[in-house]
Amino acid sequence: MAMIKTGNRIMITCEGRTVEGEVLLASPNGRSLMLRFEAILLGCVGMMPVFLDDDGKYYSLFGAGPPIEITREQ
């Protein structure tokens, strides 16, 4: 998987729902991201910080929840 960077247009899939979004901020190693989107996902309205866990999946920083799939738009 190509590293996700600040400014990338992305597709976010969580709990069976997919929405378009953008990476507002990304750490240099791509493990921490701030996502922007026009939806409510896991109780977050429009923005959500996520981190890449050791299992290779992204999770919300706001507590337990399902993994979040992030793919770059083509």
pLDDT tens column, 15-31 = 999 999 999 999 999 89
Helix/strand/coil percentages in the chain, nearest 5: 0, 60, 40
- C-alpha of 66 from chain center: 12
Q: Give just the sign of the alpha carbon dihedral 21, 62, 27, 52.
A: negative
pLDDT of residue 65: 84
User: What predicted TM-score, i.e. pTM, was given to this entire model?
Assistant: 0.89
What residue type is assigned to position 14 of the chain? C
Residues contacting residue 54 through CB under 8 Å, at least 6 positions apart: none
pLDDT at residue 7 greater than cutoff 70:
yes
- pLDDT per residue as tens digits for the range 36-58: 999 999 989 999 999 999 999 99
